[in-house]
Amino acid sequence: MPEVIFPGPEGRLEGRYHPQKERDAPIALILHPHPQFGGTMNNKVVYRLHYAFHELGFSVLRFNFRGVGRSQGEYDEGVGELADAAAALDYLQSMNQNAKHCWVAGFSFGAWIGMQLLMRRPDITGFVALAPPANMYDFSFLAPCPASGLILNGTADRVAPPRDTEGLVAKLQEQKGITITHRQVEGAGHFFEEPEHMDAAMEIVGEYVRRRLTEGTR
């Protein structure tokens, strides 16, 4: 899988890009956890998400936010990271101008950034949010949430407690015109540390995305 360097708002950004042979393949952008707590594009959950989408037929890009790995710049409280994500999506779309579907998937901090990107980019047709930290960040900007998606968390998550995730889901499910699917992995922690929990999470993601693509719905 080729390493790529593409322009971001504060200099170059480092990524891994895994294309499909089909010119009209759907595309997916994968966003990593908090840069100041060890989050990188090589996080195990992010890595597994990347390959889960590729196996579903997507051309996939994951990348390091500013200040992580070989990406230039410094951590910017989420503001700059959102700009990085927008630049990454621009790059991905420039490489796949015939893509019919565009998805964003994020883990923890990356889920928060991904949901904000969703609000800015009406071309995003679906999302996956793993362990969104609804206890730490304000998700009230999702009013209304512009696309249907999957929110997935572990029942034993101590970083982003399930009750906060459930509250976020309840608010989003009140909205009309979209469908928010909520699934939980029994006994899983924030990082889905146990192999069986990780496998269960990826199976849920695969089933959900496959169904959405089959239905062809937004």
- Give CA separation, 129 vs 22, 40, 48, 113, 165, in Å: 26, 17, 14, 10, 10
Per the structure block, which two tokens stand in for 45? 């959950």
Mean pLDDT estimate for the chain: 96
Backbone φ and ψ for 8, nearest 5 degrees, come out as -120, 180
Q: State the pTM of this model.
A: 0.97
Distance CA 84, CA 26 (A): 21
What's the DSSP call for residue 90?
A: H
Distance CA 205, CA 65 (A): 23
The range of the structural domain enclosing residue 117 comes to 3-215
Per the structure block, which two tokens stand in for 94? 């420039």
Mean pLDDT in residue range 67-77:
98
Other Cβ atoms less than 10 A from the Cβ of 162: the count is 17
Helix, strand or coil, per DSSP, at residue 8: strand
Distance CA 78, CA 204 (A): 28
- Give CA separation, 52 vs 22, 38, 65, 199, in Å: 17, 22, 21, 10
Per-residue pLDDT tens over the stretch 78-105: 999 999 999 999 999 999 999 999 999 9
Where residue 63 sits, what CATH number does that domain have? Answer: 3.40.50.1820
Count of structural domains within the chain: 1
Give which of 114, 95, 94 is closest to 32, Cα–Cα.
114
Mean pLDDT in residue range 127-132:
98
- What's the pLDDT at 218? 46
Other Cβ atoms less than 10 A from the Cβ of 22: the count is 12
- What's the pLDDT at 1? 58
Helix (H) or strand (E) holding 59: strand 59-63
